[in-house]
Every structure is written in structure tokens, then in C-alpha cells.
A and B are shown apart, each in its own frame.
Chain A
């Protein structure tokens, strides 16, 4: 018994099977977590090797180079870049997307083992460090405080960071911008000298005095007691009373040579939120944890935490990555619902029956919900890609059910009972339905095998979801739809007045359309040359649009976040930086009401702040983290509605006006993301000689800046950094019984200070730092006057054994693929596309006079775009061939699929027209839309040709067949096309968060399918006529020949 007759005969089983599918799907949905993107495996491994005391150039020669040479042979390696800085070499290995990082890490480890013996003796073992998307902070909290500022670190550490870190899934919680308490022992160098004391001796005394020692156990009488000495300081002023030595028979106390300050660290990063000083708490998640869930739990906990804090400390939120995720997914859910409604209306308008519409629309939720089970089974999440795939699929899942239902209705109208009609009618169209579904699968299944690049991650899921949804809809169309029809459809149902009111005009319009169309086809097939020439002209004309179309990679997404890096000249004092930062902050907040929170940080980061270590910090660096109101609520909350890229553009102009800024970078999207940020073209300049490459890079940057299509140009190599160095004379040192190590340690202890011991209070430890008081380390003379003691106790001043000189240290040496490199990156200005910048860069590079030993190439988003476009073009060819094979198998003919393929070029015509009318650049998403179109447009052709062939088999002439088929198939073609086109509109026109991503794709499919459907309806019958007529002529000739041959034989 066939599938459909079983289904019709066992309605209970059939219904319950689908109920089970829906229940499993809903169960899966309740377990699915929400995320922005499908899980992206890390594809970066860092190898860090430190070699203390070496310059950047030495590190490059002795560490980076040998490591690069060995690591270069690791499998699947895409790029190897290195940064050689003073004391450390950082090598970054970038692997192809989709390669297994665990295997890669092992390979890297093996290679490192091999090369270790060749590294210099002083170099430490290389350390492997993996960096992935999980390390990007998911939540940043702002903390503002007034009276409690100095104690803020301890308050936050105890009351905020610790409770938050206990939340399941939270990785690291770091506090930045709050000063840490430190006990400073400030010494007076003159008094030290007079009393014969040194920083070292004082440190030693403090260390020895501040100690608890267990003395063992002692038996007294019948008891055992333990013996202890409690020497640790319990109060800060105990330090002052320490005896540090004696001079001429008198005791010298610490208070004689120094004063103690119980204060905060001298140099700290300072953070301001909306102009108020405070701190920042950065929350990172554990690898694989769910951002939205964590953020929810953090929010739950916050009121409780806030209540436990002193009244002047207030917590706020600077950045919440989950907000963007939730908004984006909400927008998509809305899109899916709107699409569902539109498709339902289209079906209702064409069928004009409530029951039939219900049966067809029922396949949508069933097939969509079934895909949730796949998502859970494969460990995926509800994300942009999976939700949009659903939205794309909605318009297509009803097609099969429509064809089946239409045929069943026809049978019922001819007098079958619904039950019999359901079985026989499904039997008739089952094969055709399966074949046309196979063509869609031929398009989407290949998506699941793309493995390379970012496109692989994006579209593998799209491929699977559409494949699954369409397969489920096919099964449902062959079982559930006939079953429902047999139960619900009635012959000639009674039509109410409401029905007549709504549908009589629709019916009349459709009838007129049918007649007009069949008349036009009748004319067209009799004027084949005119029609084909006309089509060719349309096609050629659309090709003329090609030069005006720009290309891009991915569109910039408005996630309402801006990151700004500002650098002042190296060595700018913190107060000057602070002053500038507050001026910029104020100006920005006044000028851009869209800003919700503006957070900035300046100053040198503490070494134990893991998050701050990932980025650059220094007294001359200001970092802004700005969040705008999200797209949806920007207008109502701020009264202004500028786009993210627009605001960034204005900010760049603003920053340009500050003369003290030597370099700045405004990053839309806050950086950190691989997609959705602003597109950049990197000009990579390869060459060994610093001055030559510097010159070329500056020249390129200069020229690029002058173009209106380029908004921001940055050069990767930093400037030479001025610093003071002390050159010791080894001979003089030796004469005084000293060496470099002793001398430099003395210097370090006086300026940077020596951590003598730890002061314990309430379970926390604070450094006790001994150093010169601030007023004695303010000039070069102060350094020169430092006294260094040798083992014999004789003191000698720094100026006697060396001299202090100012030098410029070379910057970090960057290398890529084993060559020195300097990168000039240019960001496209508002309104300009990636291809504009590429053209400008290419043109400028060609006119420039570049020395022959310097090479260059374009990279950045441009390179990614090129790679992805190549992948997708190959995929498109593959899909074209597959679709052809599927159709050829269905028709058992090579000519018919060839005729149907004529609708594909006209899809391109529609796409080209759409891109140029809406001024959308051709990016990856538009290209994906184009590929999807191949499968969608041939479906129309299949429906038409299938029926033409049927008519011919029934004995009609070629031309009559074409006209009859056209008239009969116009409605199904229009219905399926309209449901797909209108189903794409919410994606194409959506304005919510994250919608930028899908605009191009929705637009491409809508335009391509509309134009292609209109032209297919004319051109396919016409071309079929041409081929069929030729076939008939050929057969006649053959027949004639064989008859002639027979006559000849007979003679």
C-alpha cells in the first residue's frame, strides 16, 4: 500500500504522528538557547615566547624567525603573523575555518618541542594561548561612587565580583578603573644617606618584622600547647616605629627617614561613566556558556548586590551583548510571523476557501517546528542564521501542499468522494511534487558541504534547516495534506455573503488575468523571433547595469556600539590625557543625544587585570566604549535617529579637530566581531627596511585620506617611542665592585619601588611598597644622584658609573607569512562600498613609485570577500549542474531541462535591476540569494513544461499545448511565486536590529523571482515551441530517410 493511501485510511495514526513531531519540536524549542551567531570554532592560536632583555630586532631574528619557519608547516595554516616587541615574541597562527583546533594545537606543540633546542639559551619556553570568541566580554557594568572611591576596589571585589563569579557559566570577572589600596613607604634619599640606610635594607627589615612564625608545641603539665610568634603588623602606624638600624649609638626608626601613606597605587587606570568617575566590571563567560542566560542571571542578582553596597556606589550597565542578541532574535521572530501571515493571505486569495487554506497553512508550523528538533540534536542555537532560514523556508514549504490540494480539489469537483480523491489525486502528482522538491534540495544540500571560510559557518546551518524543513513539508504534503483533505473538503461548499463580498472581485480579476495571459502566450508563440529578440535585448540591457553595481563583503550591522581608541603623543602625562578625555566625552554627549552610556578609560592598566591586558594601555591612551540607544528605540529615547555608521563618521570629523591627538580609530560595532563591523581594505606592504616601508605606508595613507570614499586610515606600525636609558660603564662598575644587575636593581627599587611585604587586613593583602618619595623622583638629576652600594658598603652615584640618555626605541616589528609587514587599513566612508575603496587603493598603488624590493597586496575584508565569492561561484556552478541533473531525470530528457534553464538568466536580470534600483552593493548575502534563486525559479519552469508535455501527450498540437498549459498553470505559478516573493519582503524591508544582514538577500530573491517569473511565463513556452518544432522536423526527416532507405532496399 502506498504512503498516501495508508495516511488517508489511518487518519488517527497520521494525525498523531504529526502531533508527536510538533511536540518533540516544541520540547526542543524550550531547551534551545539563544545566541547571535552559530558557534564559531576558534581558528587562532597564539605562541608567546619571552626572552628578557632583548630588543625587538633581536627577538625577531632569534625567536620569531626560527619559530615561524618551523610552525609554517603545520597543516591547514592560513596565515602566520608575528609581533616582535622588546622582551617578547607573539606569533599568531590563523587556521582555515572549520579546521580542528585541538589537532592544530597538538601539531603546534609538537613543532615547538622540535624547535625549542634552537632557541637562544635565555629564551623561555614558548607558551601556547588560544583566543576565541568566548573571550569577548559579554557584559560590562559601570560603577560610580563618590565618597567610597578609594575603597572601591575592595567593595567591588567582595560584594560584586565574587557573587557574580559564583554564577554558573560566568568565567572571569575583572574590575578595572578602580584604584587598589597600597601602603607606600616614601623615603627621603638624603636622610637615608645620612643614616646609612638603603631602600633594600628597609625592605628587608619590613619583610623580617612582618611575620607570624609557629614555634612548635610544648607540653606543660598534662596539656600540650602550641607556641607562636604573632609579628605581623596589625596597624599601619606600627610601620613607623620599626627600628631599622642604629647610627652612632642611637636607634634609627623608620619614621626618621620615611613617611608612610595608606593610600592607593600611584598609577592606575581611571574609568568614567557618563562623566562620573567610577569603575568598570567586565564579565567574560566560560567557554561554551550561553550569553543570554548568564546576562539574565546577572540581572537577577544585581538588585540584591546593589542593596548590599554603600549608598553612594551605584551599578549600571555599559554594554550588554545579550541585549543585542535578544533584540535581533525578537526582530526575526516578528519577521517569521509576518511572513506566515502574508503567505496565508496569498493562499487564501488564490484558493478562496477557508478549509483549504487551513490545510495548506498547517504545513508551515509543522515543518518549521520539526527543524527545532534538528537544532537541538546538533547542539545548535536559535540564532540569526537559523531564524532567517526559517523565514526563507516559509514561502517554499506551502508549494507542495498547494499542488496536492489543487489536484484533490479537481478530483472532488469531478465527482470523487473526498476520500478516494485524496488517494488518487495524490498518487497522480506525487512524483512531480517529489521532483520539484528535489530541485530545491539540489540547491540547499550543497550549502551543507561548504566548509571553508566564514560562509561555511553561516550557510551550513541555512542549508540543513531549509533541507529539513522542505523534506518535512514534502512528507506532510504527501500524507497529512491528503488525510486532512479527505476529512475536511466538501464538494461545492455553501458560499456566504461575506465570501461573495471578498472574493468575487478577486475571482473576476483572476479570470481576466487568465484570459489576457493565454491570449498573450498565443501571440508570443506565433511571433517567436520577436519575443526571443526582445528577451535578449532585455538581458543585454541589464548587463549594462553591471559596471554601476558595487560590491561588499558583509553589511555593517547597527548593534549600537562604538569603540574609540585615541592616542596622544607617547609619554603624555595622565592629567593632560584625563582633561582631554573629559572634554571629548562632554562634547560627544552634547552633540549626540543617541548616546546612552559613554564610558572611557585612560591610564596604565594594572598587571593583574586580565581584560585590560588584552588591549593596549598607557598614560597617553584613551579608550571609549559608547553604547547608543538600540535601533528600535533610538528615535523615541533620543529624538534623533542617525545610523551607527553616520555617527561614527561625524565622530571621526570631530576627533580630527583636536591637534593633540596623534592617532585615533573609531570602530563601528565596538570591534571584536568578525562580521558586521565596518568593511576595511588593508594595504599590506612587505619589505625589510623600516624607513622604506614607513615611507611607502605614510604615502599610501596620505593619498587614501584624500579620497571622499575613504573615511579612516590607520597605519599598523607605531612610532618610535622616546625613553630614558641609563648606559652603565661596565669598567667603572667593575672597579666599584658592581655589575649591571645590581646597579639596575638599585635603580628600579628607588623609582618603581620594592614590594617589601604584604599587609594583611580582613583577609585581604595589600602591598607594602618602599620607594623614594614622589618629590625625589621628578628629574634626571634625581636619577643620576641615586647611590648604589657595593658589597663593601661603599656608595657610588649613578652619574659616576654611567649616564642617562634619551633614546628612541624601535616599535614592534610585525611580520606576516615570514616577511616584515606594515598594514595601512582604510574604512569605507558612509555611502561608499568596499569596491570603491578597493578601486581607489588599486589606482593609488599603481601610480605610486614603489621601490622594487617592496611588495604589496590588498587584504582585510577585501581578501575575505574575494575568497568567499570564489567559493560561492564554484558552489553556484555545482548547483546549476545538480539542478539540471534532477530535472533531466524527471523529464527523462535533455532538452526540456535546458528550456527550463532559460529562466535562470532572467533571475539575474531581476537581481541586477534590484541591486541598481535600490543602490545595494553586491555582497555575500546577495550572492546567496542569487544561488537560492536558481532552485526557486526553475520550479516555475518545471510546472509549466510538465503541463505542456502532458497536453502534448494528450494529443494537442505544440502551440495549443503551450496556450492551454499557460492558462491552466498560471495560477499555481503565480501563487507559489507570490508566496515566496511576499514571504521575502519582511526580510528585505525589516528595520529591526540585525536586519541589515538580510536586506540584500531578501531583496535579491524578491526582485529576481518577480522578474524571472514574469519573463519565464512568456519565454519558456516560446523556447519550448522552438525546440519542440525542431524535434518534430528532425523526426520527420529521419522518418523520410528511413522510408527512402526502405524503398532503396526494396528495390
Chain B
């Protein structure tokens, strides 16, 4: 009933293309994050959905209705802004009540719904305060309350947690997930923070330069990234990449890069690289590198203990590799060690267009 569909949507500002021929379908009741670096077009996408920007091309529909020509108020969407955008002269109750008043909801019904929303967000004690008397987290909850009280078909959240401190952010993340479970409405959440996207979403749409890179559940985004951009963007520290080429086929397939030579014959590939030169990027996640007496020689350049884990930077035959190991690993900078890679976790991408070559069965 409130499925959202973007069909070939584009948005250009003068000569700049913010969103480029993007198609995306969000299921009713789904929590979807739109994730990407700054300037990737994610906020523009959300603002087009809200009706604050008009798409240059394509159609946007909510439910069965094409909303391109509808004003924001007619779309049955509610939006939470990064800066909260609370009306400073109104009390908390006034802010939450405002959308109902503009929709001419009867007074006692308004009071009831404000009280209800305030109860869900634990704002009852603050109803008479002005926004400036509230902490960031409380203002955030009021902004959510103003969205919630309307019971809209779709919630749009534009980086709602980025102005909060780290601890509160973790708390509000959990609150939002709980809220979504409770009300079961479609939520579209824009963020540049992969942790928020990974922890909260049912599916993540990764954007880059206005183009959709991948739209998949968090685990797939991480384990089966659609291309080398998604692979490198998701995960901290990022995936290591070695640029080289493939030689041989089937079980004899080998990845070569300088004097690195790795057998990758056991990787099921969906795509055997028809290109004649077979230039590829090999991706290795930091947690898939381990120390192994049988492995390849490398030198430790940097040790960064964080407590529960240690980030190690190796020089592996002229390539820099970042690895994530146990917090108690006993290695010092300058040590010479032997490294092994989890062969089944290696990812191959075509160098030319970045597409993933591994097939979907890859664990």
C-alpha cells in the first residue's frame, strides 16, 4: 500500500547531475537506508520523494500514485531533518500537534494523538518546553514525534542522528529500530554512516555520483558487494585491493600482481572475464588475513591496538595490506611474519568497470 517506486529518476542542478537515471523499489513497511559518500545524491533522492525537489526526469510513485506533481503535503510522507527543523516559538506539544492542526484534525483527537506520540517517544514530561530548552537527543525525539503523530505512509529521515554524540547515536539507533518494528511503516533513511545503515536497515541502497551501485540486505552488501566501490565503501577498515590480472582458467586460475601470485581456482566465478587482458582487482577483507607459518612473507609496518582488536598494516611484496586481528596478538612494528588469506573469502572485480566476478553462491 505504501510501496515506493523510483523509475529512471534523474535530477540535474544546472550542469550538475545529482541523481542519474535511478530506479529503485522499496517494499511497503520496509526500512531502507540510502547510503553513500557526501554529494552522492542521497539527500536529493529523499527530497524528491518528499516533494521538496522536482525530478528532472522519470517518475516517483508512492503506493499506486505517481507523486511527481503532488505537493509535499499531499504525499502522506513525514520527514525528519538533520537539523530537526523544530518550530522554535512553539512548545514540544505545539510542534508535534502542528501537522494535525494544519490538517484540521479536531481538538480532542489532536490532544489524544499528541499524548500517544509523546508516550511512545517518552516526551510526556517535556510537552510544555520550548525546543531550545531541550538537549539534542530530546529535540530529535520531538522531530520524530512530529512525524509519528500524523501516522504517515512513509517516514523520510535525513541523517537524523548525525548531530548527536556517539553514545546517544547508538541509543537512538536502537530506538528507531524499535519504533519501526512497532509501527511497521515504510522508512527511508539517508545516511553517510555505514554503521547506521548496516545495523538498522532491511535493505541498503548504495549510491555513488547519483547512480545506484547496489540495493541489497546489509549482509549481502558486505559479503557480496556488487562492485569494487561498494566493497571498498562498506567495512572499516576498508577492503584491501590488489590490482593485477588473471591467468589460466578453472582450478588452475591464478591471480598475479607484480611478484604476488595467488591461486584463485577454487573461487566460483559467475564471469570468467572474456576481456583479453583479464585485468582484475582482488579484494581481501582485513579480517580474512591471518598469520600462518605456511603463508606468504610480509613485514609489519604499523600496529594499532584498539583493545578488543588490533589493526595491523603490512607490507606484502610492495603492497599495503590492512588486517584486523585479536586484541592480544603479540606483534610489533618491524616484525617479519607470514600471512595467509582465507581463500574462499577473496573477491574478484573487473578492473575496467568494477563489477564483481564471484558468483552469488560465494559465502
- Bound together: no
Taking Cβ atoms with an 8 Å cutoff, the residues of B that contact A are: none
Interface residues of A, Cβ cutoff 8 Å to B: none
